[in-house]
Amino acid sequence: MALGLATVQFGIFCLIEWYEVQRHLLTIDYSIFGQAAYRISQGAIDPTTTIEGFPFWADHFAWLMWPIGWFIGLTHLPVSFVLLIIFQALPLALVVPILVLWIRHRAESLGGQEWAFGAPSALVVVAVVWVGNIWVYRALSFDFHFQVLQVPVLLALVYFVDRRSRVGTLLMVLLLLGTGDIGGLVVVGVGVIAALLQRRWLLGCGLVLLGAIWIVVLGAFHASRSTNLGFLYGYLDPHQRSVSISRVLIGAVENPMAAIAAIEHSWLGLWSDIGSTGILGLFSVAGLAMVVAVFLPVMLAQSSGFASSGLFQTLPVLVALSFSLLFPWSRLPRRAWLRGGVAAVVVAQVVLWTAIFLPRVVLSITSSMPAATARQLSSIAAELSPHDEVVASNGVVGYFSLRRYVYSTAIGSAPLHGRPVDLIVVPWAGTEYSVRNALEEVQAFSKLPGAVVRYRNGVYFGRFVPRPSLRRLDLLPQGSGMQLTALALRSPYEAQRFISTGSSAYLQSTLQGGYLIAGLTRHLVADQLENLTLDLSVAAGSMSVQVWNQGSGQLLVQRTLGSTNGFQRETLSFVTPAHASAHASDGVGIFRALFIAPPKGAVYEVRVWTRSNSIVRVRSVTWTSLSRVTRR
């Protein structure tokens, strides 16, 4: 049964990973690991992660990447196959077989005691809780991260500790530490389990001390840096020192109120992860220790994305709570009806969570990248020279990371090295941070001397050959407004044609009508005075300019225009409503989860709608924030 479940789960994992590669859903995180693996496989000893701007070893010091890179160099296997299948999907599928070995060992070692009674039924319950948990599959969909590899290694470490195998314990500890400073936190959690649960105080204290030393040493040598650490945890360090995992923990103790405020925003993600395992595992030292060790840094992160459900960062909690339910299970009275009832309740919770959120998770994976956009990206990749510098959208930059210089548009700037620069922007697909920023960066790139930008199937592709004296490319938008010409207003979903006459360029509506412009969004706070100006003409028919609140579906302001005498400027002024925000939680009753935390304020969208047989042209859109409005 264990091998059968592992095979089925491995097949599902491979399907998810295959889909991600085929649709090029490899994000900025994958680009960090993919670029390092590729460069190491090519012989680099100290590769630089160009997106972060420092050596790869300084990104949490995941030294396991060096053996992985050498393996790729020896076998010549594709980097994506090695990272996503061999070192992610396959190890994660081994969780059930490892659980079977551990349960059998407990039953055999304790003979006729509590573990022997009901061991087969306990195995079934644990297998269902793990294999049937929808958040396991969502966590895997976040391309490649070492936290996924930590899951089977964590379970194997618990197994070897229980068997008192020094060699196995040492090997698993080394593997965990090889995944970086976060692996040190997992080692601390296992040490707590060994000390409090098994009364192996020497081993437990040793693991806690080893994990803590690992974290502190990496922090002292600045080997646990990341582009996100300062953003996520900088609020805990008012002295603005170099942020590391150790500094985060110290900062939480020094600034408890700030830490508590951050934790309050993450309770829904915590609840959905714990609830989806049946909750029973939480009533054990092992489960509680791992929840604290893993969830604490996640909940302290000052980011709405870290409050979501089913994150790869919290995957170790799912496996820990799955096997930890065995401890309270073993303490139940030996009555078949009682244990059967508890098992039914636990399994029912898992089934309900999965039944409610399976369609939502599948949709979140499959709707991220249209097939036509993915084919266009493949075509562009075939055109690129391996020696070019590439600046790509956050959601697809990992697909282009097998080169020496690659950067993300999320950063907005990049150092230049005298090579041609290729810009690849997918504003409406993948996991782009901001449509506004993406389109403004396209426009800034198009203004560079000699730059050429073309558009097709939702992808902007630009090429620029910098002069030797230019050392940095800066595409960051300036100011609080948004100014876009027709070149940067194109999209794959609207009824539009792009026309360039040499002296000017504009979007023109098609005869069937529909939305000439849509998907043009900005995040705005409440009580903000906004000006929206369009440079347009209506040669025939009519048009409607609309501003929508995406979260509530409310039409905020609308203006209808008939024929005009050539191009003219039309300005709409409006004030964003108070207390307007997106509703991001989903589910039924207590079965609720958070997929994308609501932004501060709300998301507003500009649409330009045209009637059939109309001739409407738009040359530019300018959207400016003026001032805050005080309500009485």
Give residue-wise pLDDT tens across range 438-480: 888 898 898 898 899 999 888 999 999 998 888 888 887 666 6
Higher confidence at residue 216 or residue 119? 216
Q: Could you give the residue ranges of the DSSP H alpha helices within 488-535?
A: none
Q: Judge contact between 509 and 496, C-beta under 8 A.
A: yes
Does residue 34 have a pLDDT over 60?
Answer: yes
Higher-pLDDT residue of 266 and 160 is: 160
Phi, psi of 478 (to 5 degrees): -110, 145
CA 395 to chain centre: 9
Please state, as a whole number, how many other Cβ atoms lie within 10 Å of the Cβ of residue 469. 7
Q: In this predicted model, which residue has the larger pLDDT, 194 or 406? A: 406
- Taking the C-alpha atoms of residue 116 and residue 48, their distance in angstroms, rounded to an integer, is 53
Task: Give the pLDDT mean for 302-326.
Answer: 78
Among the listed residues 69, 47, 67, the one whose alpha carbon sits nearest the alpha carbon of residue 58: 47
Q: pLDDT (tens digit, 9 = 90+) per residue, 561-581?
A: 999 999 999 999 988 887 544
Q: 254-273: string of b/e by CB count within 10 Å (b at 16+)?
A: ebeebbeebbebbebbbbbb
Q: What pTM, to 2 d.p., does this model score?
A: 0.85
- pLDDT above 90 for 136: yes
**Spatial separation of the C-alpha atoms in residues 167 and 183, rounded to whole Å:** 18
Cross-strand bridge partners of residue 517: 608
Taking the CA atoms of 446, 450, 456 and 461 in sequence, report the sign of the dihedral they define.
negative
Lowest-confidence pick of 78-92, 215-229, 386-400, 482-496: 215-229
Taking 90 as the threshold, does the pLDDT of residue 397 lie above it?
yes
Confidence of residue 116 (pLDDT cuts 50, 70, 90): very low
Average pLDDT, the chain: 84
The CA distance from 59 to 48, in Å, is 10
HSE-CB for 447 with a 13 A CA cutoff = 12
Angstrom distances, CA of residue 454 to CA of 290, 294, 382, 443, 496: 50, 45, 16, 11, 15
Q: What percent of the chain has pLDDT over 90?
A: 37
Could you tell me the pLDDT band of residue 520, with boundaries at 50, 70 and 90? confident
Q: Which two tokens stand for residue 93?
A: 């599928």
Sign of CA dihedral 10, 15, 16, 21: positive
Hey, what long-range contacts does 75-81 have (CB within 8 A, 24 or more apart)? 79/34, 79/37, 79/38, 79/41, 79/402, 80/21, 80/26, 80/34
Q: Which amino acid is at 610?
A: T
pLDDT for 458 equals 87
Per-residue pLDDT, averaged over 339-364, amounts to 89
Give residue 396's pLDDT. Answer: 92
Instruction: Select, from the ranges 211-220, 262-271, 388-397, the one with the highest average predicted confidence (pLDDT).
Output: 388-397
Report, as an integer, the average pLDDT of 110-121. 53
Phi, psi of 622 (to 5 degrees): -120, 125
Task: Name, in order, each residue with C-beta under 8 angstroms of 589's C-beta and a sequence gap of 6 or more.
Answer: none
Tokens describing residue 558 = 């609308």
The per-residue pLDDT for 57 is 92
- For residue 280, which of 337, 233, 236, 346 has the smallest C-alpha distance? 346
Separation of alpha carbons 42 and 55, rounded Å: 16
Does residue 501 have a pLDDT over 60? yes
Span of 53-62, 257-266, 443-452 with lowest mean pLDDT: 257-266
